[in-house]
Amino acid sequence: MTKRKPIVIGVTGGSGSGKTSVSRAILNHFTELSVLLLEQDYYYKDQSDVPFGERLKTNYDHPLAFDTDLMIDHLEKLIHFVPVDKPVYDYKNHTRSDKVVHLECRDVIIVEGILILENQTLRDLMDIKVYVDTDSDVRIIRRIKRDIEDRGRTLDSVITQYLSVVKPMHEQFVEPTKKYADVIVPEGGQNQVAIDLLITKIESILMQNQIEEQE
């Protein structure tokens, strides 16, 4: 009998693209199965040895901001049914907190983040790679709304950060990863047809895995 391997789905796209909505739609559909969400945002590098003033300059949209090696290690362990302790990032202090989130392997693992397809080793662990492609005007409006309402930011600070960091990083690092995607989903969570097709594909793989497990 073959031991069933979990399905790994990568969901990426620019900031405000709607990738979280796509991930949540998949999570909500497979309620009868165990589904795990592994967010890249949890894997920002520990900066406890860096002076606070320097931490404030962190470019969170650059690949070097992430501890990608740790994320790869955790995903490989989860795929092989080894539990992990996912780190938690403290945005107030701009470093990793002392807290962790214990994770057990699930039937479906959704890996989500703006740069999850940038690293070849990481993307090679994924069975399905999804790029959520949303117009830049929509993305900045969503980001402004989120940062003002949820993070207490000012309009000027959000726009300045977007123009000076987010937009150039998106063009340099995020947009080019679209070529690695198996599926491109326009307009994120609003595209129900694309989400339904994704769910159908996942169900097909799950069914095939069950057949192989019984052999």
Annotated binding site for ATP: 13-20
Cβ contact 16:185 at 8 Å: no
> Burial code of 24-61, b = ≥16 C-beta within 10 A, e = fewer?
bbbeebbeeeebbbbbbebbbbebeeeeeeeeeebebb
Residue type, 95: T
- Residue whose entry in the numeric block shows the structure tokens 């989400």: 195
Place of tokens 């796209």: 13
How far apart CA 153 and CA 151 sit, in angstroms, is 6
Is the Cβ–Cβ distance between 25 and 200 less than 8 Å?
A: no
Distances (CA, A) of 88 to 42, 60, 102, 114, 149: 5, 15, 11, 17, 22
- Per the annotation, binding residues are 13-20
